[in-house]
Amino acid sequence: MIEQFAHYLVDLVFAWGYVGIFLLMAVESSFVPFPSEIVLIPAGYLAFSGKMDISFILLSGVLGSLVGALINYYLAFFMGRKFLEKYGNYFFISQETLTKMDNYFKNHGHISTFSGRLVPGVRQLISIPAGLAKMNMVEFLVFTFIGAGIWAGILVALGYFLGQNQELISEYLHQLTFGAVAFVIVLGGVYYLYHKRKK
């Protein structure tokens, strides 16, 4: 029933064109769990069919992702920060912990934001600690844009080249997701060794 509702929602929003893609991707990147796969893969197929323009699909998807990420960022920035500063001790989050998080995102927020956008289940949530730590807005937007752009490009390309072949899409999506996670792990290792050597 949930799957049917999701497909109904996607069909309805696709009737709105690029605005619909923008809205769904904004929802996907905010606090509402909504898989980007069921938005961008069909959009890629529509681009292959000549019914939509692939560049506008990517632009709509990435801008929607930015808006959703900003929603999470500012909710954490204005509401989450005050809440944790007042009641954090009840959740074992001290002011010292918040200070450490601030320092971490000040020094490593760019790599965390970028890599987080490529990991399933993390891409929506990475904006929250960034907002709590009051990460530099320009860095947050730049690295969110890059990470969201890469992920959107992967999904749209799957839809464009594989069309309606659900079995191949599922197989390649699984492999690409695994590859993205492996890439993030390797990137994190290289980044750690670089900073360790630099120190």
Q: What is the tens place of the pLDDT at every residue in 133-171?
A: 888 899 999 999 999 999 899 889 888 887 666 565 566
- Structural domain boundaries, residue 63: 2-198
User: Residue 179 pLDDT > 80, yes or no?
Assistant: no
Predicted local distance difference test score (pLDDT) of residue 66: 95
Predicted local distance difference test score (pLDDT) of residue 144: 93
Asked whether the beta carbons of 124 and 151 are under 8 A apart, the reply is no
Nearest to 76 by CA among 87, 84, 64: 84
Nearest to 178 by CA among 126, 118, 104, 129: 118
pLDDT in tens, 32-81: 767 788 788 888 888 888 888 999 999 999 999 999 999 989 988 888 87
Cα angle 125, 111, 175; round to 5: 70
Predicted local distance difference test score (pLDDT) of residue 163: 67
Q: Report the number of distinct structural domains present in the chain.
A: 1
Going from the C-alpha of 71 to that of each of 107, 131, 136, the distances in angstroms are 23, 10, 15
Cα angle 14, 20, 24; round to 5: 110
Going from the C-alpha of 174 to that of each of 5, 42, 72, 118, 178, the distances in angstroms are 24, 17, 27, 13, 6
User: The pTM is what?
Assistant: 0.78
Predicted local distance difference test score (pLDDT) of residue 142: 93
Nearest to 73 by CA among 119, 136, 118: 136
